[in-house]
Amino acid sequence: SAVISQKPSRDICQRGTSLTIQCQVDSQVTMMFWYRQQPGQSLTLIATANQGSEATYESGFVIDKFPISRPNLTFSTLTVSNMSPEDSSIYLCSVDLAGENTDTQYFGPGTRLTVL
């Protein structure tokens, strides 16, 4: 497995502002993922972030709203831009670790965001 940390662990923000969430992993990984978990809901994939290339966004998510950086093999950031109360969610990063047979994702602890 891997040790994955996220900063901040939680935040309360005003509408119209932006928040950047950091994800740090203790080993080099090719694929990192960002998810959103709205209150009481399951996880939804926002985008896949591979080092050295632009992030690939899922349907319903756009780069202007959720810009992602992936400067190296151990770090990524997700920015939630121009926030509204509907952005209140837990944001999670995960990393892919290739195993003997296939890939497995390991998740960070999440960032709990509340937008007022």
Give me the least distance between CB of 82 and another protein, in Å please: 25
**How far apart are the C-alpha atoms of 78 and 69, rounded to whole Å?**
7
- Residue 89 and residue 37 in contact, taking contact as beta carbons nearer than 8 Å: yes
Give me the least distance between CB of 43 and another protein, in Å please: 5
Is 39 one of the binding residues for another protein (CB under 8 A)? no
8-27 positions binding another protein, by CB under 8 A: none
- Residue 45 and residue 77 in contact, taking contact as beta carbons nearer than 8 Å: no
Nearer to another protein, 65 or 112 (CB): 112
52-111 positions binding another protein, by CB under 8 A: 53, 56, 58, 92, 94, 102-110
Nearer to another protein, 77 or 111 (CB): 111
Best CA proximity match to 58, nearest among 46, 69, 76: 46
Residue corresponding to tokens 């202007």:
64
Nearer to another protein, 33 or 66 (CB): 33
- Residue 51 and residue 69 in contact, taking contact as beta carbons nearer than 8 Å: no
Give me the least distance between CB of 104 and another protein, in Å please: 6
Angle at 4 between CA 15 and CA 66, to 5 degrees: 30
Binding site for another protein (CB under 8 A): 1, 4, 31, 33, 42-45, 48, 50, 53, 56, 58, 92, 94, 102-110, 112
